[in-house]
């Protein structure tokens, strides 16, 4: 009887681990540029007439950052990522890497 109980517990742990790796998600913060682009896509696809100023941002309670928005028409968008997924690297198109020195050089003249 103890063997059966042990196998059931190991099976439950394996199922939970599989779910955690493949399905569990967390909120991911959005930049303002991403927020505007997602709103424009929603506006085009849904034919929504709400202005950008009427969007209600959804703020993550832990990180205090934008993680989505709610539109007047009832549409809600939440940016979610898998727990095991790596963070996307931020690329700045105005900074170039020098191939010989390994240092960053700005393309904009200041």
pLDDT digits (tens, 9 = 90+) for 40-95: 999 999 998 888 888 898 998 888 888 999 998 899 999 888 877 776 666 665 66
What gap in Å lies between CA 49 and CA 51, rounded to an integer? 6
- In sequence order, the 6+-apart residues with CB closer than 8 A to the CB of 42 are 48, 71, 75, 77
In this prediction the pTM is 0.60
What gap in Å lies between CA 73 and CA 49, rounded to an integer? 9
- In sequence order, the 6+-apart residues with CB closer than 8 A to the CB of 50 are 43, 71, 72, 73
What gap in Å lies between CA 57 and CA 67, rounded to an integer? 8
Residue 110 has a pLDDT of: 46
Is residue 105's pLDDT more than 70?
Answer: no
């Amino acid at each position: 009887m103890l063997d059966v109980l042990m196998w059931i517990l190991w099976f439950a742990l394996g199922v939970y681990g599989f779910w955690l790796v493949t399905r569990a998600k967390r909120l991911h913060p959005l930049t303002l540029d991403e927020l505007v682009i997602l709103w424009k896509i929603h506006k085009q696809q849904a034919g929504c007439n709400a202005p950008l100023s009427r969007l209600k941002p959804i703020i993550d309670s832990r990180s205090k950052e934008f993680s989505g928005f709610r539109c007047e028409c009832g549409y809600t968008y939440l940016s979610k990522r898998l727990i095991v997924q790596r963070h996307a690297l931020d690329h700045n198109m105005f900074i170039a890497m020098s191939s010989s020195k390994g240092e960053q050089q700005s393309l904009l003249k200041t």
